[in-house]
Amino acid sequence: MGAHKRPARLSKAKAASALTLAAVGVTVLTPGGTTKAEAASVSVRALQIAASKQGSPYQWGATGPYRFDCSGLTLYSFKRAGKQLPRTAAAQYNRTRHIPRSAREEGDLVFFHSGRGVYHVGIYAGGDKMWHAPKTGSVVRLERIWTNSVWYGRVT
């Protein structure tokens, strides 16, 4: 008889836990959903992966693992962190959630533009710096963001 009461007690406990979670406003994930913290951890992981490629040579059209162009570095870093991005800087901009400079966080993408055209991308590292693959003859490096003609995007 005691065995029959146990499932009822567990069911009540589970129901109480669910009600408690609902009452305090905890987000319950659906399969395939991600929390803000999980999305941030993917971006921070992508930032770490980009940093680990420091010194890798720039090569136009290269997507790693040993040579990169700008969007190839971001594509590679986010793919290794578990997120898919399109190939080009402009397509990556169109795939991100656009955010103001004041809301940028480490791991967000930094897009350089002329008018409405995006021509370069890097990964924000904090402190007005980013990891990127700048141009032919250079290597993946951490560099100060040198212009205010940038937009920011968050990979979701």
In the structure encoding, which two tokens stand for residue 114, read together?
Answer: 């002329």
How many Cβ atoms sit within 10 Å of the Cβ of residue 121? 29
**Is residue 25 situated within a structural domain?**
no
Establish if 55 belongs to a structural domain.
yes
Asked whether residue 7 is domain-assigned, the answer is no
pTM above 0.85? no
User: Which of the four pLDDT bands, split at 50, 70 and 90, describes residue 9?
Assistant: very low
Counting Cβ atoms within 10 Å, is residue 46 exposed (0-12), middle (13-18) or buried (19+)?
buried
What pLDDT shows up at residue 37?
A: 64
Percentage of the chain lying above the pLDDT 70 cut:
74
Residue 47 lies in a domain: yes
Query: Is 3 part of any domain?
Result: no
> For residue 17, what pLDDT band results from cuts at 50, 70 and 90?
very low
How many CB atoms sit inside 10 A of residue 53's CB? 20
* Tally of domains in the chain: 1
| DSSP state, residue 102 | G
Q: Render pLDDT for 102-145 as a digit per residue (tens, 0 to 9).
A: 999 999 999 999 999 999 999 999 999 999 999 999 999 999 99
DSSP strand pairing (117-126 vs 109-114): antiparallel
Q: Is residue 9 part of a domain?
A: no
**Domain that residue 62 falls in:** 33-154
Q: Is residue 71 part of a domain?
A: yes
Residue range 5-14: mean pLDDT, rounded: 42
8 occurs within a structural domain: no
The domain that holds 102 is classified in CATH as 3.90.1720.10
| pLDDT tens-place string over residues 143-154 | 999 999 999 999
Q: Phi and psi at residue 114, in whole multiples of 5°? A: -130, 115
